[in-house]
Structure 1
Amino acid sequence: MLGLVGCSPAQGRVLLLTICAAGIGGTFQFGYNLSIINAPTLHIQEFTNETWQTRTGQPLPDHLVLLVWSLIVSLYPLGGLLGALLAGPLAVTLGRKKSLLVNNVFVLAAAALFALFGFSRRAGSFEMIMLGRLLVGISAGVGMNVQPMYLGESAPKELRGAVAMTSAIFTAVGLVMGQVVGLRELLGGPQAWPLLLASCLVPGALQLASLPLLPESPRYLLIDCGDPAACRAALWARGPLESRGGSAKRPQLRPAKIQYAAIGTGGCELLATLLSCLAIERAGRRVLLTGGYGLMTCWGSVFTVALCLQGSFSWTPYLAMACIFAFILSFGIGPAGVTGILATELFDQMARPAAYMVCGALMWTMLFLVGLVFPFLVEGLSHFIYVPFLCVCVCAAVYSGIFLPETRGKSFVEISEELHRLNFPGRSRGPAWAGPEVVRSTEL
C-alpha cells in the first residue's frame, strides 16, 4: 500500500512503525480492556458477594450484585468520558505523541492496582477493581481521541483514510486478543482473572518503548508550535508526495461454547475493518457510513424477528446467529472506522482537538449509559432489546446520507471550503482565502 504513494522503503517502515506504536497503546487498549471484562463476569460477581458477606455477615441480594457489576462495567466508559475531556487540552499542550506517552501513566496505575489485588486477594476490596477500571477508561478515552488525530495529521493525503482506519483495526485486534486471553484455559479462570485485568500493562509498555523513537505530527509542529525546521524533520516519514506544492446470548449455546462464539464475533469485526481499510479510498466515507448504518438496520430487524420466533421454528437460532455476524460485519465496514476519520477531516487544526473532545465525550457518555442500564433493559424488553438501537441506526443513516460531505482524496483546505459552501450556499471564500490550513506550498 505504501508503494502506491511513492514512499521509499525506509519511509514506509517509519510510517508503519508509527501506526503500530500509536495503535498498540491507543485504540488497541480500548478494544482489549473492553473485552477482557466479559470473561471474569461470574468470578467478579462471586467475589463481590463473598466480600460483602465477609464484611457484613450477610450475602448481597442478587439485584444488588447485578447493580455492583453494572457499576464496574460502567466505570470504564465513565473513565473514557473523563479521558475524552482531557484529550483536547493534552493534545494542544503536550502535542499528539507526548499525550499518548503520558497517557500510559493511567495504564501503569491501573495495572499496579490489579496486580496488588491479585497478589493479596485477602484484601477483599472490589473497590480496587472499580478504581482500576476507571483508570483504564481514562487511558482509553485519551487514546481513542489522540491516536486518530496523530495518525490523520501524520499521514499523506493519499493514504489519510487508510491510515486513519488502522485505529478501528487496532480496536478490533484488541477485542479479539482480549477474548482469546480471557479464555478459561489462559487467564479467564477463577484464580488467574486478576492477572487478566492487569495484562493491560503489556501494550502500554510496548508503546512506551517504541513511540519515543518516532516523529511528532508535522502539522502540530508547524501550525501549533510554529517550528518549520522540526516539521521538515518529521516530514521525511511521510513520503515524497507530501512535499509537492498544491492547494443478546442464545440459550441453545452451552456456557463453555459462548466464549468461542465471542471470539468469532471479534474475528468478524477484525475482518470487516480490514476490508473497510481497503475500500475506504475507493468507495468513500459517505457510502461506507450510510451503507453500514443501513445494513445494520436491516440485520438488526431480522435478528429481532428471529428472536421472537425462536420457539416456533428450529432454524431461527441459526438465522439469529447469522444476523449477529452480519450486523458486526456491517458495523466494522462502515461506522467502526469511518467515524474516527471524520473529526480529523471535517475540522481545521485549531478546532480539531475540541471536536475530538466533544465527540469522545458523547461516545463515552452513551457507552456509560448503555453499560449501566443494558442488564436491566434485557429483563424489561426481552426480545425487543435491540429496537432502540435500530432507531439510532436509521437516524444515522438518513443524516449521513443527506448532510455528510464526501472527503475522500481532498485536502483539508478543500474540505473546509466545501463545508463553507454547504453552510453558506453561493458564498464561496474563493481561491484568495487563506485560513489556518493553508501553509505556504505544502499540502498538509
Structure 2
Amino acid sequence: MESRKLQYWRLYLLSLVLGIGGSFQYGIQVSVIASPAVHVQSFVNHRWLLRYRAPVDDATNQLIWSFIVSVLSLGAWAGAVHSGSLPVTYGRKKALLFNNIVAIVAALIMLFSRMAQSFEMILLGRFLYGYNLYLGECSPTNLRDIMTLTGSIFIGFGKVMGQIIGIKELMGTEEMWPYLLAISGIPAILQFVTLLFFPETPRYLDKGDTEGNNLKLELDDMQKERESTQGEKAKTVKDVLSSRCVRWQLLTLVIPCVGVRLCGINALYFYAFDIFRESGVPEDQMHYLSIGLGATELITVTLENIYILFDISVVKKLMGYGYLLMGITKVHIDLNSWIPYVNFALIFCVICIYGLGPSGVSMALPADLFLQAWLPSAYVVSGSVNWLCMFLVGMLFSYIVKGLWQFCFLIFVVYTILSAAFLIYFVPETKGKTMTEITEDKLNYRKRS
C-alpha cells in the first residue's frame, strides 16, 4: 500500500502532466497557424488552379482560410460533446490515451498534406487537433486552482513556442510549413507515453466502494458529495439546462465561458498578422511582434500564479475586473496606420490584462461549480459554448475587420463589460473549497432569496 504522501505526489504529477500536455498542444495550435498563413494560402491557390483550371476568387479564398483557422474549434466542440460520456464509461485515463492517439494521427495528416497535394487534409488535421478532452477533477482540492493556472501557463508557453518556431529563420518557410503545422504531435506522443505510468483518477475509480481505491486523497470530499446527492443518478445535458436547482451554476458557467472567446483574445492570435498589416507594420517585423504578444501573456500569467499562491481570495476579482479593464482598453484601439505604436501599446495592454485576469481561470468553473452527478454534462455544456463561440470568432473576424475597419474591436466591448458585471456580483470565490461547499455557497436562487 502506497503511503499517503506518495499517493499525493503521484496525483499531483498526474495533474501536472495533463495540464502541460493538453495546454501546450492547444497553445501551439492557437498561435502557429498565423505564421505560415501566406504559404498555406499559396498552397490552396495552387491546388485550386490545378483542380479547377481557374484561380480562386477572393471571397472563396477568404472563406477557405477562415475555415482552416476556425475548424480547430469545431473539433474541440466534438471533443466537448464526447467528454461527457467517454471518460465516465471508459475512465479518464483511457479517454485521454485515445485523445492523444487522435492528436498523433492529426499530426501525420498535416505532415503529409503537401505530399498528397490536398488542402482538405489540412482542414481534417486541424479538426482532429481540436478534439480534446479536459480533465479538471484529477487535482486534489487544495491544488485544483493552481493546477488550472498551471495549464494556463503552458497554454501561454505553447503560444510563444508556436510563434518562435514559426519565424522565417526556423520553420516559417515554404519548405517547412507542413512540419510546423504537425509540431503538436510531439507533446501528444510524450503525454501518451507518460500517462501509461499513472493511475486512473480517484473520481472514476470510486464507485461507492472505498476499500478498493488506493488513491484516497479525495475520499473525504467525495464522501460529502455522495451524502449530499444520495440516490442521484448521473445527470444529462437536458437536466443541466432545465433544472432550476442548478440555474445559477449554469449562468455562472456559461457567461464566463462565452466571455473568454468574446473578449477578443483569440482574434488577436488567429489574425495577428492581418491586424499588424492593417496597422501599417512592415512584413519583416510581424513575426517578432507576434512573439512579443505571446511572451507578454506568458509573463503575466506566471505572475498571476505567483500572486494567487499568496492570496487565496482573488480568483473572482481577477476574472471580473480583468474583463472590465479589457473592455475599457479595447474601446481605444484604432487600426488606422497613422497611430500604429499607440495601437501596439493598447493591444499589449489587453494581453497583459488577460494574462493577469481571466486567462485559464474561467475554464476551471465546471470542476469548481458542479457536483460529480452533474459534472460530465456540465463539461459538455461549457465546452460546447466555449468552442462554438471560438469557431464564430475565427470564421467571422476577418470579415469584421474588412467591414468595420478600425472599429472591429468594439464588438467585443459590450459583452466583456457585461461579463465583468456578472462575475463581480454573482460568482463566488472557489479557491480552496470543496465542490460541496461551493455548491452550497449562495448559488441556488431560492437560497439567495
TM-score (norm 1): 0.83
Residue 380 (structure 2) pairs with residue 357 (structure 1): yes
Take 2:443 and 2:423, find their aligned partners in 1: how far apart are those partners? Answer: 17
Q: Give how far 1:344 is off.
A: 0.9
Take 2:222 and 2:40, find their aligned partners in 1: how far apart are those partners? Answer: 54
Q: Which amino acid aligns with 1:135?
A: L
Q: Hey, what does 2:190 align to over in structure 1?
A: 206
Q: Residues 79 and 244 from structure 1, CA distance in 2 versus in 1: closer, same or farther, beyond 3 angstroms? A: closer
Contiguous gaps of at least 5 residues in structure 2: 228-274
Q: Give how far 1:420 is off.
A: 5.1
Q: Hey, what does 2:365 align to over in structure 1?
A: 342
Q: Which amino acid aligns with 1:202?
A: I
The answer to whether the 8 Å contact 2:20/2:150 transfers is no
Q: Give how far 1:125 is off.
A: 1.3
Q: Residues 204 and 298 from structure 1, CA distance in 2 versus in 1: closer, same or farther, beyond 3 angstroms? A: same
Aligned counterpart for 1:114 among listed residues 94, 97, 110: 110
The answer to whether the 8 Å contact 1:27/1:168 transfers is yes
Q: Give how far 1:46 is off.
A: 0.7
Q: Hey, what does 2:297 align to over in structure 1?
A: 269
Take 2:300 and 2:67, find their aligned partners in 1: how far apart are those partners? Answer: 31
Q: Would you identify which runs of 4 or more consecutive aligned residues in structure 1 move more than 3 Å?
A: 10-16, 240-247, 419-423
Q: Hey, what does 2:394 align to over in structure 1?
A: 371
Take 1:243 and 1:75, find their aligned partners in 2: how far apart are those partners? Answer: 37
Q: Residues 384 and 44 from structure 1, CA distance in 2 versus in 1: closer, same or farther, beyond 3 angstroms? A: same
Q: Residues 90 and 244 from structure 1, CA distance in 2 versus in 1: closer, same or farther, beyond 3 angstroms? A: closer
The answer to whether the 8 Å contact 2:12/2:140 transfers is no
Take 2:444 and 2:62, find their aligned partners in 1: how far apart are those partners? Answer: 51
The answer to whether the 8 Å contact 1:273/1:332 transfers is yes
Q: Hey, what does 1:226 align to over in structure 2?
A: 208
Q: Residues 334 and 192 from structure 1, CA distance in 2 versus in 1: closer, same or farther, beyond 3 angstroms? A: same
Q: Hey, what does 1:174 align to over in structure 2?
A: 158
Other structure's SS at 2:54 match: coil
Q: Give how far 1:261 is off.
A: 0.9
Q: Deviation string for 1:31-85 (max 9, x for gaps)?
A: 1112111111011111111111111221111221111111111211111111111
Q: Hey, what does 2:89 align to over in structure 1?
A: 93
Take 2:317 and 2:205, find their aligned partners in 1: how far apart are those partners? Answer: 33
Residue 115 (structure 2) pairs with residue 133 (structure 1): no
Q: Give how far 1:15 is off.
A: 4.6
Q: Give how far 1:137 is off.
A: 1.4
Q: Residues 182 and 241 from structure 1, CA distance in 2 versus in 1: closer, same or farther, beyond 3 angstroms? A: farther
Q: Which amino acid aligns with 1:176?
A: V
Aligned counterpart for 1:292 among listed residues 308, 322, 328: 322
Other structure's SS at 1:124 match: coil
Which deviates more from structure 2 when the two are superposed, residues 407-416 or residues 77-86?
407-416
The answer to whether the 8 Å contact 2:19/2:147 transfers is no
Q: Give how far 1:11 is off.
A: 6.0
Contiguous gaps of at least 5 residues in structure 1: 1-6, 427-444
Take 1:403 and 1:390, find their aligned partners in 2: how far apart are those partners? Answer: 20
**Count of equivalent residues:** 395
Q: Hey, what does 1:404 align to over in structure 2?
A: 427
Residue 49 (structure 2) pairs with residue 64 (structure 1): no
Residue 117 (structure 2) pairs with residue 124 (structure 1): yes
Q: Which amino acid aligns with 1:372?
A: M
Take 1:420 and 1:296, find their aligned partners in 2: how far apart are those partners? Answer: 26
Q: Hey, what does 2:200 align to over in structure 1?
A: 216
Q: Deviation string for 1:278-301 (max 9, x for gaps)?
A: 233514221111111011112212
Q: Hey, what does 2:16 align to over in structure 1?
A: 20
The answer to whether the 8 Å contact 1:70/1:371 transfers is yes
Q: Give how far 1:206 is off.
A: 0.2
Take 1:157 and 1:210, find their aligned partners in 2: how far apart are those partners? Answer: 23
Other structure's SS at 2:126 match: helix
Take 1:412 and 1:372, find their aligned partners in 2: how far apart are those partners? Answer: 36
TM-score (norm 2): 0.82
Q: Give how far 1:94 is off.
A: 1.9
Q: Hey, what does 1:436 align to over in structure 2?
A: none
Q: Give how far 1:422 is off.
A: 4.5
The answer to whether the 8 Å contact 2:281/2:340 transfers is no
Q: Deviation string for 1:92-139 (max 9, x for gaps)?
A: 112222221110122122122122224x2xx32111111111111123
Other structure's SS at 1:424 match: helix
Take 1:244 and 1:45, find their aligned partners in 2: how far apart are those partners? Answer: 55
Q: Deviation string for 1:132-167 (max 9, x for gaps)?
A: 11111123xx2xxx23x2xxx333333221122112
Q: Hey, what does 2:250 align to over in structure 1?
A: none
Other structure's SS at 1:337 match: coil
Take 1:410 and 1:422, find their aligned partners in 2: how far apart are those partners? Answer: 20
Take 2:87 and 2:446, find their aligned partners in 1: how far apart are those partners? Answer: 28
Percent identity, please. Answer: 37
Q: Which amino acid aligns with 2:293?
A: T
Q: Hey, what does 1:249 align to over in structure 2?
A: 276
The answer to whether the 8 Å contact 2:110/2:121 transfers is yes
